[in-house]
Amino acid sequence: LNIKLNYMQIIYQIFKRGNRTILSLTLVMILTIVLMNYHNYKKSFNEKNIKNLINNIYFKKTLMNIFNQFDPKYEKIYHNVSKGQSLSYIFNKYSVNENELELIQKSLIKKYKINSLKINDLLEFTIDRSNQKITEFYYPVSKTKKIYLTRTKDFKFFNEKTITTKLTRKIIYEENIITNSLYKSAIDMEIPDSIIVEFARIYGFEIDFQRDIRKKDSFQILYEIFNDENDEIVEKGNILFANLNLRGMNYPLYFFNKNNLRGHYDESGKSIIKTLMKTPINGARLSSPFGMRKHPIDGFNKMHRGTDFAAPMGTPIMASGDGVIVKAGWCGGGGNCIKIKHNSVYQTIYAHMSKFSNNVKKGMRVKQGQIIGYVGSTGKSTGPHLHYEVIENGKKINSQTLRLPSGKVLKGKDRKLFETVKIKLDVLKSEKIIGIN
């Protein structure tokens, strides 16, 4: 009996303890649910109040007034000059005090023509927005020189300082096989446009880039560039060496600049320059030769007393020789045209231009290879092209069959100097090819 009673007491104690545990768990669950509901209620209430506060117009105005106090007092301006823009226009654009222009002009007018801004010049200046006055101003004189003006403490004058950019000369060697055109093959090697134009110019006396170059011909070029402190190209230099390999034949040229004999010479010391260039345009296609043809607009046969070069609109056109412009204007069926007198024997005409180069006008002297205008389709024309004429002793002749005397031939001491320069350039080229220089 006693054993039975003890057993019942043990079961009672276990049951009693189990109720407590269940009760405790129940209370904890109820408390958790109550707290979560209260938290969600408070969160919803706070979000609603914050949203109402943010949307309140008076609160918005207060914030705007606060943030306006944080606007920078000094504003740095970087402005690239566009066509027709003057310093007065630029200052007005950025709400600069109208008296600032006169003050800056007084600081620079003695040395520089401050109003002669060039397209793409970068003007840098800082404006004090509390009084709309300029505190510092950079004026570009050239690619390597700037004038830096800083405001005096009394704001009455500017202090002037000249800043010169130090340039590093680099010599680049590139070569490539021509698969489509010389221009495309050169661009693929990331050769600068101005270097490609110069390459075409120096070979333009001997090579017709449309008819003489074939696929799998090749070129080599050694040229200078000048980089600034950021290793960006600021200026392009000379082509020191160039070679065209046309159907297995090499046509090397060397740059020589001694005793006022600056230019490119072949291996024998003969200058590449002739009286007139064979082709005054790069990358063009001979679309209509000199001779009888059916006129594409008039519809009847007539003598074509020039050579037509089809090229994309805007392609640069070069003066084929040194001379003086005797006409630059409208030529009827020839559209916009330029006529150059080279000497007592030769004159050239360039017709159907879209526009002339800057400052080109009658009476202006031009150099061989200088860009005088751009391909267009003005006048009697069915598409963009250059109509090019050569006049010899008053008679229009075929420019493509014209044989002109070669340029200067180096002799004596000049020839010896040239041979030394040629050897040095050949060594430099070899070092660049094998990568030891």
Residue 224 near residue 169 (C-beta atoms within 8 A): yes
- pLDDT profile of the chain (437 residues), mean per 10: 52 53 64 70 61 57 52 79 84 85 74 68 85 86 82 81 85 90 86 86 74 84 88 86 91 89 89 80 67 55 76 89 90 91 87 90 88 90 88 84 74 93 94 80
pLDDT given for residue 261 in this prediction: 83
pTM of structure: 0.56
Q: For the chain, what is the radius of gyration of the CA atoms? A: 39
Residue found under tokens 């008819």: 211
The pLDDT of residue 418 is 94
The one-character DSSP state at 23 is H
Q: Are 327 and 335 in contact (CB under 8 A)?
A: no
Residues in the chain: 437
pLDDT at 130: 81
For residues 367 and 359, give the distance between their C-alpha atoms in angstroms, rounded to a whole number. 14
pLDDT of residue 1: 46
Token pair in block for residue 43:
């969160």
Rama region for 272: left / alpha / beta (φ>0; ψ in -120 to 50; rest): alpha
Q: Please report the pLDDT score of residue 67 as a whole number.
A: 47
Give the end-to-end CA distance of the chain in Å, rounded to a whole number: 114
Q: Which residues contact 367 (CB under 8 A, 6 or more apart)?
A: 319, 322
Residue 24 parent element (H or E): helix 2-54
